[in-house]
Amino acid sequence: MLTPLTPTPNAWDAFVASQPRAHALQLSAWGELKRAYGWGVERVALADDGRIVAGAQLLFRPLPLRLGTMAYLAMGPYNTTSDDAALWVAIDQCAKRRGAAFLKWEPGIVEVGDPNPGFWALGFRESLQTVQPPRTILIDIADDDETILARMNQGTRRKIRQSQKSGVRYYEADRADVDTFTRMMQTTGSRNRFGVHEPGYYEKAYDLFVPRHAALILAEHEGDALAGIFVFAVGRTAWYFYGASSDVKRNLMATYGVQWAAIQWAKARGCTTYDLWGIPDEDEAILEAQFESRSDGLWGVYGFKRGWGGRVVRSQGAWDKVYNPLIYQAYRLAVKYREQSN
């Protein structure tokens, strides 16, 4: 018989890491990072004889215009039993107990024949409002370096090799180097016109994830900081969540070298997939037709990411389960108004 369990962070993380679809956004550290920035966190777990066999980490945040609370489930849940109903009952109970008007679920990449396996039957409706970017590029890093390089386009391969011949040093940064990374993030955000987190966010991420589930890898040349990557990993997958570069010595191609160093870090941890995390949500034919003429949103990074020999994959997107129809309708109208205002 399955029984509710309040897991310790270590027990929860061990359970997540054991799952075939283990994801960094389900780690307890991710919950603590979001808690520090206004989200509520709760981990729902079911146990069999004291051992976690099913569960999900839920986040909660207030909706705009004081419309109540949204529950958010990213890249889960996990269930090693045949009893899906018991897990979803526990998830719904937790969400309602926290006053959620609805649950937003982003299942992540579920590579099965049915594009939306059973989501409608669970009471969900498809949502156009996503939290995480639905489309990404996955690189197979299970092979040797030469095979991985051979799958890349010629330009990316050439720039990686150039980055290794110019005297640039690539290294895993320590806590004191986070300030260097955050300054480069500010430079990158200003140059490419996108928002970045405040410095404390990256400091908190470092404290929570490094070294167990992440590394901050920097590129330096003769005292100049050139580029940096925050790479995360759990199970067999690594994710490139945050990347930055300075405005100096861009001819040394350190952005390519530091990405290659992050791939090497992921391989050394036993990862077989490297997720470049976030490209425009368009079919590949449109991506290829328009990437040279567009730089808005995620288009600005697609030109870089497309050359790494990965495959374009779309997740299952976002799905909403409504607990309070009146508030949910008000929320949808507020989102529509905000989008039109932008």
Span 110-120, average pLDDT: 67
Give the confidence band of 112 by pLDDT, cuts at 50, 70, 90.
low
Give the confidence band of 333 by pLDDT, cuts at 50, 70, 90.
confident
Give the tens place of pLDDT for each residue, 153-164. Answer: 999 999 999 999
Give yes or no for residue 197 having a pLDDT over 60.
Answer: yes
Q: What is the pTM of this model?
A: 0.94
**In Å, what is the CA distance from 285 to each residue of 38, 111, 281, 307?**
39, 20, 12, 15
pLDDT given for residue 110 in this prediction: 76
In the chain, where the domains are located: 3-131+316-341, 135-314
Q: Rounded to an integer, what distance in angstroms lies between the CA atom of residue 195 and that of residue 182?
A: 13
Backbone angles phi, psi at 32, to 5 degrees: -70, -35
| Architecture in CATH for domain 135-314 | 3-Layer(aba) Sandwich (3.40)
Span 316-330, average pLDDT: 95
Give yes or no for residue 342 having a pLDDT over 60.
Answer: yes
Which residues have C-beta within 8 Å of that of residue 85, sequence separation ≥ 6? Answer: none
Give the tens place of pLDDT for each residue, 29-57. Answer: 999 999 999 999 999 999 999 999 999 99
**In Å, what is the CA distance from 18 to each residue of 14, 103, 139, 234, 273?**
6, 25, 21, 9, 16
Mean pLDDT, all residues of the chain: 93
Give yes or no for residue 236 having a pLDDT over 60.
Answer: yes
Tokens 């309040």 appear where?
Answer: 6
Q: Rounded to an integer, what distance in angstroms lies between the CA atom of residue 334 and that of residue 342?
A: 12
| Identical topology for domains 3-131+316-341 and 135-314 | yes
Span 116-127, average pLDDT: 86
32: closest CA among 172, 266, 213?
A: 213
CATH number at 3-131+316-341? 3.40.630.30
In the chain, what is the straight-line distance between the N-terminal and C-terminal CA atoms, in Å? 51
